[in-house]
Amino acid sequence: MSTVAEKETCHGSSSACGLPAEPVLLSRNPGVPTWRKHSCLPSRQTCRDLFGAGRFRSPGGGAAIRSPLLLLLLSTLLFAQSNLSPSKLLQPPTDTWPMYHGDYSGRRYSTLSQINAKNVSSLSLAFVYRENMGPGSSGGVRISATPLEINGVLYFTIPDHLWAIDARDGREIWHRQLQSKGGMHIGNRGVGAYGNWLYYETPDCNLVSLNMKDGSERWRKPICDLDLMYYGSVAPIVLKNHVITGVSGDDLDQPGFLEAHDPETGDLQWRWYVVPQKKGEVGSDSWPNEEAMKHGGGMTWQPITYDPELNLIYVGTGNPQPVIAGKGRQGDNLFTESIVAINPDNGKMVWYFQPSPHDTHDWDATQVPVLFDGEVNGQKRKLLAQASRNGWFFVLDRTNGKNILSTEYVKTNWSSGLDAKGQPIPNPAKMPQLDGALVTPNQGGGTNWPPPTYDPETGLFYVNASRAFSVYYIYDPSDKPEGWGGNDRGGYSESMVEAIDYKTGKIRWSHKWESGGGRGGLLSTAGKVLFAGDGADNLVALHTETGEPLWHANLGSGVTNGPITYELDGTQYLVVAAGDTIYGFAMLAH
């Protein structure tokens, strides 16, 4: 059966497939890459025909299994296997996706190749799960989290909510709602995992440990002060005996920081402040005074990467504060807008590199510091690459932070050149003005928080990029502005996926999104497939070597997280979020 009938009998407001009650997209015909819209929900038999027997969910999220004994047996098997082996944290992701980026490197590359450039057009929809927050809820909250897949179970989040669903068929195993005292609910990037435990940051500034088996709470510890307008949204990363957490919040000119907590007790092990806390500390000479420095911002709102051999974690830090009006914070404003290497055992900084000295455009440098080994001038080097929000691509030696390459990946106009360290020099004429300054990129940046990917087979760094123009204005020209003190107003923009050669910084290929947008995360695989989201609500597969479009499926909403892949029972799955829904694809037997 290649398509569904044009007219079907509606079966109320619930769905036999667990699909949303609004119009849905269903056809999985390999010859028709996008699914056709339907004005009502499919029958249970249609679900069987479309997705295969046993691969659909009954109304309310329960599996379509009638036997209580069989349900109990399956649940017992799932829970018995919930433990995450520590060895999985140090291996390339295959049957497991155990952390935000899949592994510590941040590459988001999979060695799996069952789904490949030759057969990706035959991908089938394996399951759909729409977030169910309980009675009276209509869903609708964007899923920004990268799911973790551990022993056949997917764990994902939104603010105040966590779910575990079956990684094969999308059946809900448990849902946990945490009571919140407030905080910004803009999004949540997921959980960390260790042993039998999950780790989650709440919007109201707590680190919570939960049992993988049922979502029950083990402990919670404060990580920031809600009264100072901080909030939690970062996916914790577990390494050795540390749970690494970061913080978010731009409203009250507070300092950003990174923390390490004991995975068993939650106790604080160390805290590293992004900005110096008193004069005389390293970096304090890049601020005009102690008051400006201690309120200097630099939030740590993206997950870190880690090199186990060097025992260094790498964190990208956020913008200085006040965000736009920089008159009261003259200087480079260290260590905001920086890539920083830190010893995870004591929280001490080892080196730094600053992509955006004295930023006045809200260009956080929190984009993923991607780790890989490569050749530079014929010599093998331990490298770190970042496509920064300011439109520049940097390659560093990750052992010492020395710059190897600095080049634009989208055309910019805000810098007047590079300094001796390879850092862009801000052009004062392109800083925000009372009567406006035309700047590219805009506040959204050349890229933003959705993660890039690096393919070691092609040697290419892939990023969902944007070239956009804005006029930046100052609202508060005083000597001591607070908050933002200005903003931008947007204009022309275009978006594309770019493949960057790390050795030269040259764009090997670029695939423009004709519909604009395209802010979702990326995934590359050994099957020579790059998965991305475009601006027309499509999940798209491109050839990693050429950028040639291979397949697409319309999800009804734009991709809102980074796709993941894993193999279970000999079947490779691809999982992605679009809006409030998780979609699972697979190369199913027909």
Tens-binned pLDDT, residue by residue, of the chain (590 aa): 333 222 222 223 333 333 333 333 333 333 333 333 322 333 333 333 333 333 333 333 433 333 444 444 444 444 445 689 888 999 999 999 999 999 999 999 999 999 999 999 999 999 999 998 887 776 789 999 999 999 999 999 999 999 999 999 999 999 999 999 999 999 999 999 999 999 999 999 999 999 999 999 999 999 999 999 999 999 999 999 999 999 999 777 899 999 999 999 999 999 999 999 999 999 999 999 999 999 999 999 999 999 999 999 999 999 999 999 999 999 999 999 999 999 999 999 999 999 999 999 999 999 999 999 999 999 999 999 999 999 999 999 999 999 999 999 999 999 999 999 999 999 999 999 999 999 999 999 999 999 999 999 999 999 999 999 999 999 999 988 888 999 999 888 999 999 999 999 999 999 999 987 777 999 999 999 999 999 999 999 999 999 999 999 999 999 999 999 999 999 999 999 999 999 999 987 65
The whole-angstrom separation of Cα 139 and Cα 48 is: 25
b/e sequence 140-152, b meaning 16+ C-beta within 10 Å: ebbbbbbbbbbbb
| Residue 264 CB contacts under 8 Å (≥ 6 apart), including other chains | none
State how far the Cα of 81 lies from the Cα of 393, in Å rounded to an integer.
42
Out of 103, 169, 204, 362, pick the active-site residue: 362
Residue 362 catalytic?
A: yes
Q: Provide CB contacts within 8 A for 222, sequence distance 6+.
A: 205, 206, 207
DSSP 279: T
Domains of the chain: 1-64 (no CATH), 67-105+143-273 (2.40.128.630), 514-590 (2.40.10)
Q: In this structure, are residues 358 and 326 in contact, taking their beta carbons and an 8 Å threshold?
A: yes
Q: Which helix (H) or strand (E) holds 524?
A: strand 523-525
pTM: 0.88
Per DSSP, 226 falls in state G
Place of tokens 């510590």: 104
Q: Beta strands 109-110 and 523-525: pairing type?
A: parallel
The sign of the dihedral angle between the CA atoms of 74, 79, 83, 84 is positive
185, 202 contact by CB (below 8 A): no
